[in-house]
Structure 1
Amino acid sequence: MVYPYTAALVGAFLYILQQGLMMNTGAYRGKAGIGVGFGDDRHLERKIRRHGNLAESAAVFIVVLALTEMLVGTGSVVIAFGAVFAMARVSHAFAFNSLGGSHEKSESTRKYL
Structure 2
Amino acid sequence: MFPITALYAALCGLLILALSFNVVRYRFGRGVSLGDGGDIHINRAVRAHGNAVEYVPLALILIGLLEGNNGNAWALNLYGLVLVLGRLAHAWGMVGPGSEVNSFRKLGIVATWAVLLAASVHLLVIVGLYRG
TM range (shorter): 0.7 to 0.9
1:100 aligns with 2:99: yes
In the TM superposition, what whole-angstrom CA distance separates every residue of 1:48-76 from its partner, at most 9, and x where no partner exists?
A: 00011111111121111101011124521
The one of 19, 27, 30 equivalent to 1:29 is 27
Tell me the TM-score normalised to structure 1 length. 0.82
In the TM superposition, what whole-angstrom CA distance separates every residue of 1:22-79 from its partner, at most 9, and x where no partner exists?
A: 1111011011011111122101100000011111111121111101011124521111
Task: Provide the C-alpha distance between the structure 1 equivalents of 2:57 and 2:71, rounded to a whole number of angstroms.
Answer: 20
Q: Secondary structure at the match of 2:54?
A: helix
Task: Provide the C-alpha distance between the structure 2 equivalents of 1:74 and 1:12, rounded to a whole number of angstroms.
Answer: 20
Alignment: residue pair count: 100
Shift of 1:18: 0.7
Tell me the TM-score normalised to structure 2 length. 0.71
| 1:80-91 matches, cutoff 5 A | 80-91=78-89
> Runs (4+) of structure 1 moved beyond 3 Å?
none
Task: Provide the C-alpha distance between the structure 2 equivalents of 1:100 and 1:93, rounded to a whole number of angstroms.
Answer: 10
Q: Which residue of 1 aligns with 2:65?
A: 67
Which is higher, the Rg of structure 1 or of structure 2? 1
Q: Report which structure shows greater RCO (CA 8 Å, sep ≥6).
A: 1
* Identity rate, percent: 27
Flag structure 1 segments of 5+ consecutive residues without an equivalent: 103-113
Q: Secondary structure at the match of 2:32?
A: coil
Aligned CA RMSD, in angstroms, stands at: 1.3
| 1:6-21 matches, cutoff 5 A | 6-21=4-19
The structure that is helix-richer by fraction is 2
For 1:34, the aligned partner's letter is V
